[in-house]
Chain A
């Protein structure tokens, strides 16, 4: 018995050890990114982990620095890129909400012809190689004048945000018993009243989480603004590539920009942690 206890103790310590090694691998790049962003120029080329931190890089990224103003180094467009990401992603999520909430409800509640095919067509947006759509779309956008516009980017972001919203919300609507609606209808409430006053409050946490996750995915998207956007709507993801090539020797600036560009997602993701599993699996896994 004593022998078995020691064995279990050893096993537990070993398991914790393996976990710690894995998490060193998982978290080290992010910790290193933060460290580099706090380093001054000369310290950049040492691999020391202990140094005097400076927030100069953040100030330079947010407010520009003297050398950029004098034209010695490329101007940092970070604040504008950040706003572009914010506008494009929020707009995309708003469109998805307007279109996706009713669609998810219809797919969850009604039986109608072609229902599953339709649901899978929306899902296929998520899995199809984007280039099949955006190569021709780049031609259409140039003809319609949508190239390098916010609306153009929001529209194409629907490929990312809409399937997520529809599938996750559909699973939340399906969790609610139709009896609740039936009962309210029998009590004489109108369909609109039932939908907005009874159903929506029930799915609200799931809805908020799905919308925030869609926002994160839109924010993280790279290929759409790369192909369909120019300098007007350049997002942080596209701009970040420019930082590394123009910032030879300015890796600390780049790291500071990366930290700032990642903060929104990390904060949002932590706030919806309970709903992440279902969101990330499009409703397939109810975590």
Chain B
């Protein structure tokens, strides 16, 4: 009996499909609480999409059943400020992501040396990005303040004129992107530093022995191997700065005038401050669609870059 069981391959093969129900359902059961929570998030999301097709105003009871089709979207696209809003949203995201990536790359490469200064400084990288963005912004706002601020006195000492910073339309975008760059360059630097430290030594040693120049090594070894890390930085920073709210709101609430009215700020002002729920939602939904498309593309690019980097 027992001998037959050992010699016959049949029982082992049949065992798989005959797993008890509880074992087969186990992954779903384990993930069930998270699925329930997911519904609690997806339901408002779908409700929001529905509201964007109605004339819902929080102050007007029953207006959520007043279906108006695409009217809110048509109004958004034909709004005289729509193009400007698009411009500020994109400009903010491109400037901050670009500078953070470039500066982060330089800082990481300088930190990745055998020097006492870099050993002391590396742990301090996290400070700007770990405090609340609102609070970091308020500190900058104080520094830019005309009476107690420190930035204008510093500018004056080196012979430059005072600035009005976020209070003037000409320098408002510069001021908020400066805060973003201050806050999140450390994120880029930390990711790149982690990348640099994960590299195998051999190819760099070989390049050195062959007398390759710094630029040749950088272009042909460092940069291709860093690509997955760079994409991760872009995924986080570009997506986050497209929807940046905290820094802009704490600094100027979108002003002066409409200087910093990005999609996110416009959606907040219209739907929450003016309580015209349905009129602000198209901005948030458009932003959602943009972020969805860009992130899908970036995540695919990340997968490809990782496979390529692993091929070295």
Contacts and interface: CB of A to CB of B under 8 A. Distances in A.
Contacts of A131: 264, 267-268, 271, 280-281, 284
Contacts of B124: 23, 26-27
Contacts of A47: 150, 153
A158 interface: yes
A88 to B, nearest CB: 13
A266 interface: yes
Contacts of B209: none
B254 interface: no
Contacts of B153: 47
Contacts of A158: 37, 40-41
Interface in A104-147: 105-107, 109-110, 112, 118, 121-122, 124-125, 127-140
B132 interface: yes
A103 B229 CA distance: 26
B115 interface: yes
B31 A118 contact: yes
Interface stretch (A51-59, A71-79, A197-205, A269-277): A269-277
Interface string B193-235: 0110110000000000000000000000000000001001001
Given A107-B31, A131-B264, A131-B268, A125 B140 contact: no
A266 B148 contact: no
A258 B38 CA distance: 34
Interface residues of B, number: 92
A36 B139 CA distance: 10
Contacts of A287: 190, 194, 197-198
A130 B267 CA distance: 11
B54 to A, nearest CB: 11
Q: State which size class the interface on A falls in.
A: 35 or more
Interface in A273-287: 273, 276-277, 280-281, 284-287
Majority secondary structure, A binding face? helix
Contact of B107 (A19, A135, A241): A19
Nearest to A273: B123
Contacts of B123: 270, 273
Contacts of B141: 244
Interface string B96-118: 00000001001100110101011
Q: 8 closest A-B pairs (Cβ-Cβ)?
A: A110-B27, A103-B34, A287-B194, A220-B132, A136-B48, A131-B284, A106-B30, A262-B131
23 contacts: A12-B115, A18-B110, A26-B182, A27-B128, A44-B148, A45-B148, A102-B34, A106-B28, A122-B34, A127-B295, A129-B267, A130-B243, A135-B51, A135-B281, A139-B47, A139-B51, A162-B34, A223-B268, A244-B141, A255-B142, A262-B135, A270-B126, A284-B232
Interface of A: 12, 15-16, 18-20, 22-23, 25-27, 29-30, 32-33, 36, 44-45, 47, 95, 98-100, 102-103, 105-107, 109-110, 112, 118, 121-122, 124-125, 127-140, 155, 158-159, 162, 166, 191, 216, 219-223, 227, 236-237, 240-241, 243-244, 251, 254-255, 258, 261-262, 265-266, 269-270, 273, 276-277, 280-281, 284-287
Interface of B: 26-28, 30-31, 33-35, 37-38, 40-41, 44-45, 47-49, 51, 58, 64, 103, 106-107, 110-111, 113, 115, 117-118, 121, 123-128, 130-136, 138-143, 145, 147-148, 150, 153, 182, 185-187, 190-191, 194-195, 197-198, 229, 232, 235-236, 239, 242-243, 245-246, 249-250, 263-264, 267-268, 271-272, 277, 280-281, 284-285, 287-288, 291-292, 295, 302
